[in-house]
Structure 1
């Protein structure tokens, strides 16, 4: 029996059996309903997985849960950047535009963010996420008055992620005609680790908008190419949809141009390929005129396909550029040509401006290894490999195409368009991923589509070759893959596989819709298989379901259960609320950049810099102010940044022009900032740069301004753990070559120690564990008796033997608090020591007693590099400003986000003193 006859028989028997159920599974309406059910299930599965964060399963402690949720028990947003978009959404809701004000720039009023990069401010950004957040809020708040804008923002990424599955499913189904392949690809894309963690409920940021528009663009382009052989306008219609989505892309992501280039590269190369094929076949047909009518028909179809593709390319490339220019201005389209060059230098130590490149220390921009790309994209190397195989298999659509069409010669034996697009897409995103871990998410869709194609290819190949014996190899292979996957997941997940179907019950209606759609699909599939008389087709369907389950289960199990602890909390909120209510409106908050978005949102005050302005000269100056031991220099830096911003050292400044370099400018500023205005003026007059009186006045207007903004410093526990970052920039040596590696530059660090403190026989004893192995433990032993501090190193072996030797620390600093008073002990221990010991004992806080009944006190201690032992930061955070004359602790509250001192979130005021004299 031929393959065609077998297929006809299969179809006839299926139809006959389906009549038993009075139900035609081949009816278009039935297929359409099934497709809708599949999309609903996939969308709500995506939502439910992301809803897990709302369950706050990171703890069962009610007090801990309260500190990370609002008055109605709804969790705060996660991470940092979401608070910027939340603040912009608040502005949009209140003023009708993002930003807190409008500012005239070149004769045009634009939305302005006064709090960002104070005191200068910056243009406010307007993004689709602001519109969606306000929209969700208005709908939800109309039904529940307790809903806040933050509550609405919390769910926006989960809602948007529901749309990821749509284009992926239809792309794979277009290529393979397989619903199972489309579903596998959609699930793998939606739940990929690198996409999932940045699109969970609570992570109200833009990563989902970086991917979603391109998915729709690719889907529409693929549909346009599919219909390019038809005389109907469908090809041009889908090209128009792709162009519309392209035009919307800049409103969602500033790096929209990468998708633009991917499609341009595909269209250009595909046009060249089709042009060559057409020329070859046209020449062949001309040389063999009237000998082969099918050849002439093929040339006619190729000509139509080439012309339609050319029209789509022109509409997308040229029409898209014109529309983007009209809507967003020439800067947006011109930026598309310049922006890629900026991404090339992400990993360079020094930026092209001459200032250090802060992006080299941003974890998500760390260079990704191949293993990291694999684990962050599809979780495992075997799925990664299957994805590559699937992309290759997309070339061979002959086995997935009805035989009749192949015989008629209307379909090429090799169809390059899908493979070409996927290869270009993967190559571009693979290169981007190699520049930074955060870009790994961009390469997930083409790989997931490849896995979907592989799945669909296997399904259609076996189904179209039922008279062969391929199933004897295919079925055992599928069974092994699926069972191994399920067994591995079962062992890793302690057998709780069913929890995948019940990831969260926080939104009952979403859970109900997902389970109901799944139940209907199961019923449909069972009925479909019962109605099928051909047992080989039934076996094919069963094993394909098994294969699909095997492919998606590890990815799903890896994210169930899932939780994420918010960064903002009520502890921080207490101190930030104090700033909001107790400080002047022109106050500036100075801290390291990472929490800047949270501070501006909660305090409505300016910040020195934040997560969108970290790669600026202020990274050096803020790092310098905290790392230096010179309080006067630190004070001068805070004064300059808070009052005049970058005026003293920007590219148009007197110092840059006169000294000729950033290094010389930094030297001059480090020399005059600690001085009073009179002293600074005298220093500038005697400078070798021969400044004029006008130039001196301009310099001092920036460094010692008459009108100043109050500055408030914030320290917190995590800032201690990242001291190696801010001190690295604060100790930056501009005289070293720009490509000097990080290991060759100076930095400092703090490391918390396990410490025990008690009083024995009127002697305060503090013991800190420095090192521990299976054989011995080494302690720093500090004693205070009669106001005298002494110390030693003590080694205790596993059998209890004790040896002591001289303390090798460069310095020991101990603060003791008792009865509302503090006492500082500052003792040089060893001139040759490279490390120092910082200790804080609170005798007012007794946490227990030792075996002899002696009180045990709350104690913290750190070992630090000696370059930070007397730093302004160490005096602020560890010793509450003790030893500083111009910086005063104003407010302290709990910091539950990291281990360290408590209260660990501290606000200090800065007194500029007599600097103007």
Structure 2
């Protein structure tokens, strides 16, 4: 009887608004999962490139045990030298993948490891949608949470990075990031140590999964420093930042690919100095004289900030290097050619922001205005969250995925503030019946606005999500299956001897190494910049020069790729598309890395295509004729280029074409060295 009364009481507490909110949230989560699972219907493969190396890592763990990963030396990567995997790879994704696979097996779901890893991002995306609702609810209200969840569900970057098959660092690391932010806010609000510990552990997990862990770590630190500067320091703030930073930095020190040298470096200067500031504020809080306490606090803050700047820029914490240096100082990008030539590390443009977020780019600044005007602690956090996310994405387009939640929350704050103001004004001037009629009109307007805001992006999101994975589209990203790469990888697996080393540009290293099971001289980790530069020099010089480099690396086969546009000519001509980046387009990146001039290799030629004259970039520079890469790429079409365009590209002497895919997109050459005894 008591249980029945208790259940009735609980049910009575759930009002219509709650039911609507929960129904909408469930609908958004389901919609998010449906969008992300669409690529599965084209075929079960992993997407892009990086997920394949995480698959290989998870497979190694399942075959050899978790502890074996920490001593794994892989001779098939960066051949002939090999690579020490723990020192350059995140352990989070392969460990998470292996545990997830074992969990599924334990509960009776018997699927392959690849199937398990392919479905994981879909589940992760659904969970992330829910977590973003919680984050919006914590920072603003539950309606803001719903809006933020919907934006994340249809965000193009989020769709890609948490879509079916995309088992990469974001699918795992974002879980840790959002949990860390949510519990950091809860720790400050609820004043409980367990929340701070959960926040720290979540950020530690992100540290093991994704290099973007520095974003939330420094977000917390800068928020703490700002709170101290504006006089809103509290003991709970000190306790929370200390716990979160300590756990995270400890995880950094233990992670094989990060280590103590990065844990105590300019990358962590902000949390270290935030801790010192909080420590000083804790001591000054015991000074009874308010004026003296204020003077000591202000003086200490200024002193610590000056010391922090001196320590960081004097190099006492070590050099600021790599991606972190480009992040804080984008002007040095040109000094890091490998970073500046990787697509996902390009800076995001205003056009990219607008095409992804549409009206949010207008609403978010309004939300920032209202947040700064109110300026409570959560409002300050929201603005700082958004500013850091936008700044990060402006330097690295891959970080756009962390922009969506912050812009959505700011936009929701703007809508909430505007509508609240409208309601207040109407209630002051209208009678009860008039207010009800007015509210009905306003709700109708809100519904129309939401549909207008969401309909077009939702349609675009569905179209974007409904595509095959990159391997099935042969690296074009098109919504059609092209089997050139799959066929080529299968041929390599079945016909190239196991101990042979394959030469290629680094973009295809993971596919060839994992799918074709062949040793490669470079891969997508881009850890050996010296070897990448040598490969660029080999491809951009003549055969004899290239043979010396490939011979030193013991290369026996070379793979090149170009998604040609075939023209109806006789002899056959195929044009490099430029809209889809193959090795001809990537040769400009090779030139940047090798320090060569583009004008020596590529120039435009006016071509009449379908009655329209277009200036098409082609290999007609003074060095193009004897460039190995162009000899290999254009070999099947050299007669057409010579007879119809007057472009003469030499036939390779020592590189024998042993395989071409159906559309000639992937070409595989065997090297016939002139002095086989020494090879």
Shift in CA distance, 310/750, structure 1 to aligned 2, threshold 3 Å: same
Cα root mean square deviation, aligned: 3.9
* From 707, 712, 722, the counterpart of 2:557: 712
Contact 2:180 2:203 in 1 (8 A): yes
Structure-1 residue corresponding to 2:607: 770
User: What are the superposed Cα offsets for residues 782-831 of structure 1, whole Å, 9 maximum, x if unpaired?
Assistant: xxxxxxxxxxxxxxxxxxxxxxxxxxxxxxxxxxxxxxxxxxxxxxxxxx
* From 267, 283, 296, the counterpart of 2:224: 267
2:467 counterpart of 1:564: yes
Tell me the distance in 1 between the aligned counterparts of 2:470 and 2:11: 52
Tell me the distance in 1 between the aligned counterparts of 2:243 and 2:593: 50
Contact 2:32 2:153 in 1 (8 A): yes
Structure-2 residue corresponding to 1:366: 346
2:223 counterpart of 1:310: no
Structure-1 residue corresponding to 2:48: 79
Contact 2:538 2:549 in 1 (8 A): yes
Structure 2: give runs of 5+ residues left out of the alignment. 1-7, 269-319, 473-482, 565-575, 577-581, 639-649
Structure-1 residue corresponding to 2:671: 909
* From 149, 157, 181, the counterpart of 2:121: 157
After the TM superposition, which residues 90-109 of structure 1 pair with which residues of structure 2 at under 5 Å, given as runs? 90-97=59-66
Shift of 1:471: 12
Contact 1:224 1:235 in 2 (8 A): yes
TM-score, structure 2 length as denominator?
Answer: 0.74
* From 629, 636, 646, the counterpart of 1:873: 629
User: What are the superposed Cα offsets for residues 365-424 of structure 1, whole Å, 9 maximum, x if unpaired?
Assistant: 233322322323x1x1x321211222332356xxxxxxxxxxxxxxxxx44212221222
Contact 1:359 1:615 in 2 (8 A): no
Tell me the distance in 1 between the aligned counterparts of 2:384 and 2:431: 34
Structure-1 residue corresponding to 2:200: 243
Q: Once structures 1 and 2 are overlaid, which stretch shifts more, 417-426 or 361-370?
A: 361-370
2:161 counterpart of 1:198: yes
Tell me the distance in 2 between the aligned counterparts of 1:778 and 1:163: 48
After the TM superposition, which residues 458-607 of structure 1 pair with which residues of structure 2 at under 5 Å, given as runs? 458-462=418-422, 467-469=427-429, 543-562=445-464, 563-569=466-472, 570-607=483-520
Shift of 1:713: 0.6
Tell me the distance in 1 between the aligned counterparts of 2:632 and 2:501: 18
For the residue of structure 2 that corresponds to 1:119, the secondary structure is coil
Structure-2 residue corresponding to 1:612: 525
Structure-2 residue corresponding to 1:225: 188
Tell me the distance in 1 between the aligned counterparts of 2:613 and 2:20: 67
Shift in CA distance, 639/611, structure 1 to aligned 2, threshold 3 Å: same
Structure-2 residue corresponding to 1:27: 13
Tell me the distance in 1 between the aligned counterparts of 2:108 and 2:197: 40
Contact 2:506 2:522 in 1 (8 A): yes
2:325 counterpart of 1:341: yes
Shift of 1:142: 7.9
Contact 1:325 1:332 in 2 (8 A): yes
Tell me the distance in 2 between the aligned counterparts of 1:314 and 1:872: 56
Tell me the distance in 2 between the aligned counterparts of 1:567 and 1:167: 28
For the residue of structure 1 that corresponds to 2:463, the secondary structure is coil
2:294 counterpart of 1:330: no
For the residue of structure 1 that corresponds to 2:626, the secondary structure is coil
Tell me the distance in 2 between the aligned counterparts of 1:188 and 1:777: 42
Structure-1 residue corresponding to 2:176: 213
Shift of 1:747: 4.8
2:676 counterpart of 1:888: no
Contact 2:138 2:182 in 1 (8 A): no
Structure 1: give runs of 5+ residues left out of the alignment. 1-21, 57-73, 103-108, 228-233, 277-305, 397-413, 476-533, 643-708, 735-741, 754-768, 780-834, 837-861, 896-900
2:32 counterpart of 1:46: yes
For the residue of structure 1 that corresponds to 2:72, the secondary structure is strand
Tell me the distance in 2 between the aligned counterparts of 1:269 and 1:159: 36
User: What are the superposed Cα offsets for residues 518-555 of structure 1, whole Å, 9 maximum, x if unpaired?
Assistant: xxxxxxxxxxxxxxxx6666666555444433333332
2:110 counterpart of 1:110: no
Contact 1:172 1:185 in 2 (8 A): yes
Contact 1:88 1:126 in 2 (8 A): no
User: What are the superposed Cα offsets for residues 437-473 of structure 1, whole Å, 9 maximum, x if unpaired?
Assistant: 222333222111111222333455555666224999x
Structure-1 residue corresponding to 2:386: 426
Shift of 1:604: 2.1
Tell me the distance in 2 between the aligned counterparts of 1:184 and 1:383: 11
For the residue of structure 2 that corresponds to 1:201, the secondary structure is coil
Contact 2:539 2:627 in 1 (8 A): yes
Shift of 1:350: 5.4
After the TM superposition, which residues 405-416 of structure 1 pair with which residues of structure 2 at under 5 Å, given as runs? 414-416=374-376
Contact 2:624 2:630 in 1 (8 A): yes
Q: Once structures 1 and 2 are overlaid, which stretch shifts more, 134-143 or 417-426?
A: 134-143
Shift in CA distance, 275/135, structure 1 to aligned 2, threshold 3 Å: closer
Structure-2 residue corresponding to 1:403: none
Structure-1 residue corresponding to 2:314: none
User: What are the superposed Cα offsets for residues 142-177 of structure 1, whole Å, 9 maximum, x if unpaired?
Assistant: 899984322222222221111222332223323443
Shift of 1:634: 1.4
Contact 1:112 1:122 in 2 (8 A): yes
For the residue of structure 1 that corresponds to 2:227, the secondary structure is helix
Tell me the distance in 1 between the aligned counterparts of 2:417 and 2:135: 14
Specify the structure having the higher radius of gyration (Cα).
1
Shift of 1:431: 2.1
Tell me the distance in 2 between the aligned counterparts of 1:610 and 1:316: 35
Contact 2:503 2:555 in 1 (8 A): no
How many residue pairs get aligned? The number is: 573
2:587 counterpart of 1:726: yes
Shift in CA distance, 55/422, structure 1 to aligned 2, threshold 3 Å: same
User: What are the superposed Cα offsets for residues 164-218 of structure 1, whole Å, 9 maximum, x if unpaired?
Assistant: 22332223323443x3322111111332222222222122222344544332222
Tell me the distance in 2 between the aligned counterparts of 1:772 and 1:77: 36
Shift in CA distance, 772/890, structure 1 to aligned 2, threshold 3 Å: closer
